[in-house]
Amino acid sequence: MLLLFLSTILIIPTLMGLGKIFTFFSQEKSISRNILIGILGLSLLLTLKSFFGAIDFYTEIITLSIGLFSFVYHKLYKDFCQFSKKEISLLSIVSLIILFCSSFHPYILDHFGYYVPTIKWLREFGMVKGISNLDLILGQMSIWHIFQAGFSHFSDPFLRMNGILLIIYSIYVIEKKSWIQLCFIPVLLLFSQSPSPDLPVIVFSLIILNEILKGNKNTNLLFAFSVFVFAIKPTMIWLPILSFLYSIFIIKSRFKYLIPGSLILILFFIKNVWTFGYPIFPVAIGDLGMYWKPNPEVLRISSQYAIMKTYDMQYSYSQIQQFSGFDYIKNWLFLNGIKSKINILFILSLLIFIIFTYIKKNKIITLICISIVIKSILVLSFSAQYRFFIDVFFVIIFVMFFHLINQKKSIILFSGLSIFFVLFLSFPNIIQKLAPSFRLGNYMAKFNQKQIYKPSTYDYNQYQTFKVGNLKLNVSNNYPYNFDTKPPAISTGFIFDDVKANIFPQLIDENNIQKGFIWKNLTPKEKKEAENVINNIKNNYK
C-alpha cells in the first residue's frame, strides 16, 4: 500500500501537468479534466513511439520530468483547494480502500497470459510487426497497456495503474458531484490488481455518459475520447456510436469536430494491421494483403475456441455446430453455474432498459438504448461471453438511477458495498464455498501483511529455451502462460496449434527481433525441432 501511495502521488501530478500542456489555451480549472486529457494525449504519443522502438526507462523519465515540471510551473496543486474538508476526508477514505484492495495478488487469468506479457514486449521492444504470429493473443496490444508500459519501469513497477485510475475516478466523482458513480467504485475494486483494460473502459464510458446526460457540448473531445475507449477495447463500440449520434442529432455539430476522433480511429486500425495484419483484432476482415498476417488455420482454431468460450467450454465445437437456432439460445441461457445467471440477468436488464427508454421518451436515453442494443447484437453474434457485455450493466444502472441517488444515499451504498468487496478479496475461501462455479475464486489469495508495504505479486521465472528454424524461443516450465518468462516466449497452447497446422513463427530478420515475425511451413528438420519442444512440454506436465 505504501509503495502504491507513492506511485499515486507521482503519477497523478504528472498526468495533470501533461493534461495542462495538451490544453494550454483552456482556462478551465478542473483536476479530473487535466488528468483525463493527460491520459489520452500520453497514450497516443506512446502508441506512436512504440512503432519505432521500446517504451524504455528513458521514455518514462522524460514523461515524468515534463509532467511534473508543468504541474509545478502552472501551480496546479492549487486546484485541490476547491475541495471542502468533508470532500477531502471522503476522497482520503475512498483512496485508502482502493490502495488496500489494489495490493492483493492478481487473479484474472489474462493477467498472466495477456496483460503482463504485452507490457513486457512493449517495454523491451515496442510494438513488433506481426507479433500475433508468435502468440496470437499478443496481437491485441491494447492502447491501455501501451500507456501502462510508459510507467512500468520506475513509477508503477507493480502494474497497479488501475488502482490509481480508480483514485482519479474518485476525484472526478467528487469534483463533478456525480454521486451515483461513487457506488460503482467498490465493484470496480475487483479489477484493480491487474492491468486489465476492462476497468478503464468502464470508468471512461461512465464519465462520458455523465457528460452527455449533463449536456456537454464539447463534441470534439467527447467523440475523440469515445474512440479512444473503443481503441482500448473494441467491445465498447457502443460508445463512439453514441457520441456520434449525440453530436449529429442532439448538438448538431459539424463533421469537422469529429476529425480528432477519426484520426484516433485510423491510428487504432494502423496499430492492429501492424501487430495482427487486419484492422480489428481478432476478426479476419479487411484483408490488406499484409505478408505478416496470421495463418488462416490458426485463426480458424481461435474462432472455434471463442465459440466454445461462449458456452463456457461446456460443449465441444462439433456439438455446438449441431445446435438448432433454439438450442443456441437455450443452452447459452441455461449453462451450468453462475454464468447462466449472468446471461439471464443480461437479457432481462436489456429488456427492462428498452421498456424504460420507451416510457421516458427522452432523445438522449433513446440514443443510449440504440447504441447498447447495437453493441449487444454484435457481441451475441460473435462471442457472447459475459466479460464482453459486463459494461452494459453499469450503463443501465447509471441511466435508470441517474437522478435518484444523492450524496447521502451514495455514501451509504458505497460503505456497504466496500465492506462486502473488501471481505470478498480478503477471504476468498468463502466465495469458493458459496459459488464453486466462480472459477476465478480459485485463483484469489488471502490478505498478506506484506501488502501494507508493497502489493502482492507472483514470481515464477522458470522456463526452457529452444530453437526452431531461426527463432530462439522461451517456454514456461509446467505452466501455460508467460507472465514471468523472458521474451520471445510462446504460450504452450499456441505451440500445439502451430505444429498442428504444420507451421511455426519465424523472425523476419534473424538478427533484429524488432523487424517482426511471420509464419512459415515447417521443413522436415524444423518439424523435428518443433516436436522436440512439444515433447519437452508434455514431459514437464508428467
Residue 276 contacts residue 268 (beta carbons within 8 Å): no
Instruction: Give residues with Cβ within 8 angstroms of 196, minimum separation 6.
Output: 108, 110, 111, 115, 162
Other beta carbons within 10 angstroms of residue 346's beta carbon come to 21
pLDDT of residue 430: 75
Q: What is the mean pLDDT of the chain?
A: 92
**Is 253's pLDDT higher than 90?**
no
What pLDDT band is residue 541 in, cutting at 50, 70 and 90? confident
Task: Return the percentage of the chain with pLDDT > 70, whole number.
Answer: 97
Residue 102 contacts residue 455 (beta carbons within 8 Å): yes
Mean pLDDT of 169-180: 96
Give the whole-angstrom CA distance, residue 210 versus residue 418: 23
Report the SS3 class of residue 454: coil
What pLDDT band is residue 224 in, cutting at 50, 70 and 90? very high
pLDDT of residue 282: 87
Using the Cα atoms of residue 495, residue 499, residue 503 and residue 509 in order, give the sign of their dihedral. positive
Residue 265 contacts residue 274 (beta carbons within 8 Å): no
pLDDT of residue 148: 97
pLDDT of residue 25: 58
Give, to the nearest 10 degrees, the angle between helix 198-213 and helix 161-176.
Answer: 10
pLDDT of residue 439: 64
pLDDT of residue 542: 67
**Is 222's pLDDT higher than 90?**
yes
* Nearest CA-CA partner of 181 in 369, 410, 364: 410
Mean pLDDT of 75-104: 94
pLDDT of residue 448: 83
Buried/exposed code over 347-361 (b: 16+ C-beta within 10 A; e: otherwise): eebbeebeeebeeee
- Assign residue 159 a region (left: φ > 0; alpha: ψ between -120 and 50; beta: otherwise): left
Set of cell numbers at residue 424: 470478498
Mean pLDDT of 287-309: 91
Give the whole-angstrom CA distance, residue 147 versus residue 200: 11
pLDDT of residue 368: 97
What pLDDT band is residue 331 in, cutting at 50, 70 and 90? very high
What pLDDT band is residue 215 in, cutting at 50, 70 and 90? very high
Residue 350 contacts residue 373 (beta carbons within 8 Å): yes
Instruction: Give residues with Cβ within 8 angstroms of 284, minimum separation 6.
Output: 278, 293, 294, 296, 299
Give the whole-angstrom CA distance, residue 372 versus residue 242: 9
pLDDT of residue 441: 65
* Nearest CA-CA partner of 172 in 225, 237, 245: 225
Set of cell numbers at residue 515: 523487424
Which pTM value belongs to this model? Answer: 0.95
* Alpha helices, H only, 311-406: 317-321, 325-333, 338-360, 363-382, 390-400
pLDDT of residue 442: 67
Residue 55 contacts residue 131 (beta carbons within 8 Å): no
**Is 133's pLDDT higher than 80?**
yes
Element at 4 (helix H, strand E): helix 2-22
Question: What is the number of H-type helices and E-type strands within the chain?
Answer: 23, 4
Mean pLDDT of 293-304: 91
* Nearest CA-CA partner of 242 in 268, 267, 261, 269: 261
What pLDDT band is residue 346 in, cutting at 50, 70 and 90? very high
Mean pLDDT of 155-171: 97
Residue linked to cell 508468435: 134
* Alpha helices, H only, 246-337: 259-276, 296-310, 317-321, 325-333
Set of cell numbers at residue 315: 460443449
Residue 207 burial (CB < 10 Å; 0-12/13-18/19+)?
buried
pLDDT of residue 390: 92
Per residue, the 3-state secondary structure of 396-451, as one string, reads HHHHHCCCCCCHHHHHHHHHHHHHHHHHHHHCHHHHHHHCCCCHHHHHCCCCCHHH
pLDDT of residue 382: 81
Give the model confidence (pLDDT) of 16-27 as tens digits: 999 999 986 566
Residue 502 contacts residue 522 (beta carbons within 8 Å): yes
pLDDT of residue 26: 60
Give the model confidence (pLDDT) of 417-457 as tens digits: 999 999 888 888 777 676 666 666 667 777 888 899 999 98
Using the Cα atoms of residue 505, residue 118, residue 40 and residue 56 in order, give the sign of their dihedral. negative
Residue 261 contacts residue 224 (beta carbons within 8 Å): yes
Give the whole-angstrom CA distance, residue 349 versus residue 442: 28
